[in-house]
Amino acid sequence: MTHPLTVRMMAFEVPSTEDFNPLYIAGNATLSYLHTALGLYAVYLEPFMVKSMRRVMPQIRDEALRESVDRFCRQESQHYQKHADFNKVVLARNYPGLEVRMKQLRDEFDGYLRDRSDRFCIGFVEGFESYTAQSALTMVASGLYEHELTDPRFAKLFKWHLIEEIEHRNVAYDIYQHLYGSYLVRAYMCWRAQRHLFRFYADCMRILSAAEGGRGGAHYRTSFKHRLLFSRISPFAKRLRTLLPGYTPHHLRVPASISTQAEQLSSKAVSIQ
């Protein structure tokens, strides 16, 4: 029988630096920079998540959970490797301040692995995942990846990533509950991990907007109001939900169309495990 968490090896067409359009999502600056920020964040967050999860594997006393955690790690490893290919195209453009911000991000995750407890790291993973599972459902349903002004090469990358985020939505929560279970620590780590993500989003959007706006004019700029809306106001309800004592990703409503799309992805994969 196939496992519900499918590890897919994908082969995506990556744009060249010459035909890269920075407004690749719906021709919209804010939405495109938000996706770019997610791709940049993923290449340091996801290795941190995989290392954090692998470190506590010997403590898992449940065979099925151990298998799910292993598959979670293998899915996340594919995600950051594919984002790294696309990020090269992004980073080939001149974005003053981005390199310094990326280095800060990498140092923070390295520091967490070096100095913080397993409970902190697993709590951080769970805090991030509990937000992204909800966000992935919204993004996939939004129609943005089918928009006529969206670059299909980026659309395929993000859709694959987000559908696998939905597939493995329960794993971080389950391992956190299995090993630690404290509600207060979980709520604190949700707040902390999500704050970390949205600070990076806000910084990244500001840096990209300044550089692309300088090159291309007003259409390539994001306003302070839009950045505030996307990095603070619109995520608020989803963030709040993860803090509630009764929150569990097991209760998220997943439309049947997600499993159809997941099957389509599997049929397009180079190989699946």
Minimum distance from residue 42 beta carbon to Fe ion (Å): 6
Q: How many CA atoms lie within 13 A of 227 on its CB side?
A: 19
Q: Is 174 in the site for Fe ion (CB under 5 A)?
A: no
Nearer to Fe ion, 70 or 76 (CB): 76
Residues 204-263 that bind Fe ion (CB under 5 A): none
Nearer to Fe ion, 68 or 231 (CB): 68
Q: Interface with Fe ion by CB under 5 A: which range of 6-14, 70-78, 180-188, 199-207?
A: 70-78
Minimum distance from residue 78 beta carbon to Fe ion (Å): 8
DSSP notation for the chain: ---SS--EE--PPPPPSTT--S-TTTT-HHHHHHHHHHHHHHHHHHHHHHHHHHHHGGG---HHHHHHHHHHHHHHHHHHHHHHHHHHHHHTS--TTHHHHHHHHHHHHHHHHHHS-HHHHHHHHHHHHHHHHHHHHHHHHTTGGG-TTS-HHHHHHHHHHHHHHHHTTTHHHHHHHHHT--HHHHHHHHHHHHHHHHHHHHHHHHHHHHHHHHHH-GGG---HHHHHIIIIITTHHHHHHHHSTT--GGG----HHHHHHHHHHHHHSSEE-
Nearer to Fe ion, 41 or 220 (CB): 41
Nearer to Fe ion, 25 or 29 (CB): 25
Minimum distance from residue 221 beta carbon to Fe ion (Å): 29
Measured from each CB, the residue nearest to Fe ion is 79
Q: Interface with Fe ion by CB under 5 A: which range of 72-80, 99-107, 115-123, 230-238?
A: 72-80
Minimum distance from residue 116 beta carbon to Fe ion (Å): 19
DSSP notation for 6-57: --EE--PPPPPSTT--S-TTTT-HHHHHHHHHHHHHHHHHHHHHHHHHHHHG
Nearer to Fe ion, 135 or 222 (CB): 135
Minimum distance from residue 169 beta carbon to Fe ion (Å): 8
Nearer to Fe ion, 165 or 212 (CB): 165
Q: Interface with Fe ion by CB under 5 A: which range of 6-14, 18-26, 50-58, 76-84?
A: 76-84
Residues 147-166 that bind Fe ion (CB under 5 A): 165
Q: Interface with Fe ion by CB under 5 A: which range of 79-87, 107-115, 196-204, 249-257?
A: 79-87
- Total residues at the site for Fe ion (CB under 5 A)? 3
Minimum distance from residue 122 beta carbon to Fe ion (Å): 13
Going by DSSP bridges, is the β-strand pair 271-272/8-9 parallel, antiparallel, or unpaired?
A: antiparallel
Minimum distance from residue 208 beta carbon to Fe ion (Å): 21
Candidate list 79, 83, 186, 196; residue touching Fe ion; CB under 5 A: 79
* Binding site residues, Fe ion, CB under 5 A: 76, 79, 165
